[in-house]
Amino acid sequence: FPSRLSSSFTLGLFKKMPPFKRVQCWVVILALISGHALGFTCPNRRNPLVASSASASASTSTPRSTKYTIREQRQHQPSPDMTMSMTNESDMSRADFVSNLLMASLVTSLVPGVANGFDGGVGGLGKTRPQTGVVFRDPEAAAEISQSSSGDVNYELISPDGTPVFLSFSAPWPLLKSTVGIAARDVTGGFESTFVQVVELPDGVTSLDNIKPGLLSQSIFASTGKFGMYGAPTDIRIKKIQQQSSDASGTSIYQTSFTTLTPAMIESDRKAYISASVVGNGLFLLVTTTTSARFKKLEGELRKVADSFSAISAPKSNLNLRKS
Cα–Cα distance for residue pair 242/170, rounded to 1 Å: 19
Picking from 34-48, 105-119, 227-241, 244-258, which range would have the lowest pLDDT averaged per residue?
Answer: 105-119
Q: Kindly tell me if the per-residue pLDDT of 87 is higher than 70.
A: no
Q: What is the pLDDT of residues 97-115, one digit of tens each?
A: 655 655 655 544 444 333 4
Does residue 128 sit in helix, strand or coil? Answer: coil
Q: What is the mean pLDDT of the chain?
A: 74
Q: What is the pLDDT of residue 105?
A: 53
Question: Between 1 and 207, whose confidence is greater?
Answer: 207
Does residue 182 sit in helix, strand or coil? Answer: coil
pTM: 0.62
Q: What is the pLDDT of residue 320?
A: 54
Q: What is the pLDDT of residue 201?
A: 94
Q: Kindly tell me if the per-residue pLDDT of 19 is higher than 70.
A: no
Q: Kindly tell me if the per-residue pLDDT of 116 is higher than 80.
A: no
Q: What is the pLDDT of residue 204?
A: 87
Q: What is the pLDDT of residue 172?
A: 96
Q: What is the pLDDT of residues 166-219, one digit of tens each?
A: 999 999 999 987 767 999 999 888 799 999 999 999 988 888 988 989 999 999
Cα–Cα distance for residue pair 167/248, rounded to 1 Å: 12
Nearest alpha-carbon partner for 212 in 249, 161, 252: 252
Cα–Cα distance for residue pair 128/144, rounded to 1 Å: 24
22 pLDDT band, cuts 50/70/90, is: low
**For the ranges 17-21, 60-64, 279-283, the one whose mean pLDDT is highest:** 279-283
Q: What is the DSSP string of 199-253?
A: EEPPTT--SGGG--HHHHHHHHSSTTSTT-TTS--EEEEEEEEEPPPSSTT--EE
Question: Between 51 and 282, whose confidence is greater?
Answer: 282
Q: Kindly tell me if the per-residue pLDDT of 89 is higher than 90.
A: no
